[in-house]
Structure 1
Amino acid sequence: MLSTLRDAWKIPELRNKIIFTLIMLLIYRLGTFIPVPYIDTEVLQQYIADGGMLGLFDIMSGGNFSNFTIFAMSITPYINSSIIMNLLTFAIPSLERLAKEGEEGRKKITQYTRYLTILLAIVQALGIALSFSNILTEKSWMTISIVILTITAGTAFLMWLGEQITESGIGNGISLIIFISIISRLPSSIVELFNLVQVGTLHWLSVVLFFIFAIVVIVAVVAVQEGQRKIPVQYSKRVVGRKMYGGQSTHIPLKVNMAGVIPVIFASSITMFPATLASFFPSSSVANWINKFFAWGNVFTTIVYIILIIAFTYFYTAITFNPIEIADNMKKQGGFIPGIRPGKPTSDYFNKSVTKLTLFGGVFLAFIAVIPIVVGNIMNVNLQFGGTSLLIIVGVALDTIKQLESQMLMRNYQGFLK
Structure 2
Amino acid sequence: MNERASLRRRILVTLGVIVLFRLGQTLPTPHVTVRAPEAEHPLRWILDLLTGGGLATLPVFAFGVLPCLAAPRLLRGLIVLIPRLAALRAEGEAGARVLKRYQRRLVVVLGQVGAVGVLVFRGQDVLEGQGAVAVACLTAGTALVLRLTEVITDRGFGDGVRILLLAQVLAVLPAEFLRLYERTGWAAIAVMTVVTLSITVLTIVIAQGQRRVPVQYAKRMIGRRAFGGTPTYVPLRFPQANSPAVVAAVLLSVLVHYLGLADPGWIAVYFVLVCLFAFMRAAAAQDMAKVAGELVRVGGFVPGIRPGNWTAEYLDSVNRRVLAFGALCSGVVALIPVAGLALLDGGPTLLVSGVTLQVVLVFLVSVSLDTTRQIESLRRQRRYEPFLR
Deviation digits for residues 188-208 of structure 1 (CA, Å, limit 9, x no counterpart): 345445545xxxx423x6523
Q: Superposition pairs for residues 232-271 of structure 1, below 5 Å? A: 232-239=214-221, 244-258=226-240, 260-266=242-248, 268-269=250-251
TM-superposed deviation, 1:395: 0.8
- Give the equivalent residue in structure 1 for 2:359: 388
* Residues 310/206 of structure 1: CA separation in 2 closer, same or farther (3 Å cut): closer
Q: CA–CA distance in 2 between the matches of 1:150 and 1:337?
A: 57
1:355 is aligned to 2:326: no
- 2:102 pairs with 81, 98, 112, which one? 112
Local SS of the residue matching 1:42? coil
Identify the residue that residue 34 of structure 2 maps to in structure 1: 40
Instruction: Note if contact 2:202-2:329 (Cα within 8 Å) is conserved in structure 1.
Output: no
Distance 1:376 1:334 in 2: 54
Asked if 1:329 corresponds to 2:294, the answer is yes
Q: Equivalent residue for 2:116?
A: 126
Q: What is the alpha-carbon distance in structure 1 between the residues aligned to residue 53 and residue 90 of structure 2?
A: 40
* Residue 97 (structure 1) aligned to one of 87, 90, 100: 90
Q: Say how many residue pairs are matched.
A: 379
Structure 2 residue 192 is matched with structure 1 residue 219: no
The one-character-per-residue Cα deviations of 1:111-138 (angstroms, maximum 9, x if unpaired) are: 2220121223233333444455564456
Cα 1:369–1:323, aligned 2, differ >3 Å: closer, same or farther?
same
Contact 1:369 1:388 in 2 (8 A): no
Where 1:79 maps in the other structure, the secondary structure is helix
> Is residue 271–residue 304 contact of structure 1 (8 Å, CA) maintained in 2?
no
Instruction: Return 5+ residue gaps in structure 1 as ranges.
Output: 1-7, 276-290
CA RMSD after TM alignment? 3.2
Residue from 157, 178, 183 that aligns with 1:170: 157
SS in 1 for 2:103: helix
The 5 A counterparts of 1:193-208 are: 193-196=180-183, 201-203=184-186, 207-208=189-190
Residue 16 in structure 1 maps to residue 13 in structure 2: no
User: In structure 2, what is the equivalent of residue 64 of structure 1?
Assistant: 54
Residue range with higher mean Cα deviation, 355-364 or 245-254: 245-254
Structure 1 residue 210 corresponds to structure 2 residue 192: yes
Q: How does 1:260-299 map to 2 (within 5 A)?
A: 260-266=242-248, 268-269=250-251, 294-295=259-260
- The 1:117–1:327 alpha-carbon spacing in structure 2 relative to 1, beyond 3 Å, is same
CA contact (8 A) 2:241 2:366 kept: no
Q: Which amino acid aligns with 1:180?
A: A
SS in 2 for 1:214: helix
> Does structure 2 retain, via aligned residues, the 8 Å contact 1:376–1:384?
no
Shift in CA distance, 270/73, structure 1 to aligned 2, threshold 3 Å: farther
Using structure 2 for the length normalisation, give the TM-score: 0.84
Structure 1's 214 and 35: CA in aligned 2 closer, same or farther, altered over 3 A? same
Do the aligned partners of residues 147 and 348 (structure 1) sit closer, same or farther apart at CA in structure 2, a change above 3 Å counting?
farther
Does the CA contact (< 8 Å) of 1:369 and 1:385 recur in 2?
no
State the distance in 2 between where 1:297 and 1:391 align: 24
Distance 1:361 1:262, change over 3 A: same
Partner of 1:282: none
SS of the aligned residue for 2:36 comes to helix
Match of 1:51 in 2: 42
Deviation at 1:401, TM superposition (A): 1.5
Mark the CA change 1:34 to 1:179 in structure 2 (over 3 Å): closer, same or farther. same
2:340 alignment partner in structure 1:
375
Is the CA contact 1:229–1:253 (under 8 Å) kept in the aligned structure 2?
A: yes
Contact 1:179 1:393 survives alignment (8 Å): yes
Deviation at 1:293, TM superposition (A): 7.8
Distance 1:258 1:336, change over 3 A: farther
- Asked whether the 8 Å contact 1:75–1:174 carries over to 2, the reply is yes
Label 1:368 to 1:82 Cα distance change in 2 as closer, same or farther (>3 A). Answer: same
Gaps of 5+ in 2: none
Q: Which residue of 2 aligns with 1:310?
A: 275
Any conservation in 2 of the 1:259–1:313 contact (CA below 8 Å)? no
Which SS does the other structure have where 1:321 is aligned? coil
Distance 2:135 2:11 in 1: 33
Check conservation: 2:158, 2:370, Cα contact below 8 A: no
Is this contact kept in 2: 1:237–1:245, CA < 8 A?
yes
Cα 1:247/1:168, change in 2 over 3 Å: same
- Retained in 2: the 8 A contact 1:369–1:386? no
Q: In structure 2, do the counterparts of structure 1 residues 133 and 146 end up closer, same or farther at CA, with 3 Å as the change threshold?
A: same
Q: CA 1:257–1:165 in 2, change beyond 3 Å: closer, same or farther? A: closer
Tell me the secondary structure at the aligned position of residue 252 of structure 1. Answer: strand
1:22 corresponds to which letter in structure 2? L
Residue 280 of structure 1: aligned partner: none
Q: CA deviation at 1:39?
A: 4.6
- Provide, for residues 303-324 of structure 1, a one-character-per-residue CA deviation record: whole Å limited to 9, x for no partner: 4433332222232223211111
Equivalent pair of 1:323/1:350 in contact (CA under 8 Å): yes
Moved more, 82-91 or 215-224: 82-91
Instruction: Give distance in 2, aligned partners of 1:292 and 1:172.
Output: 33
* Cα shift at 1:404: 1.2
Q: Distance in 2 between matches of 1:10 and 1:297?
A: 54
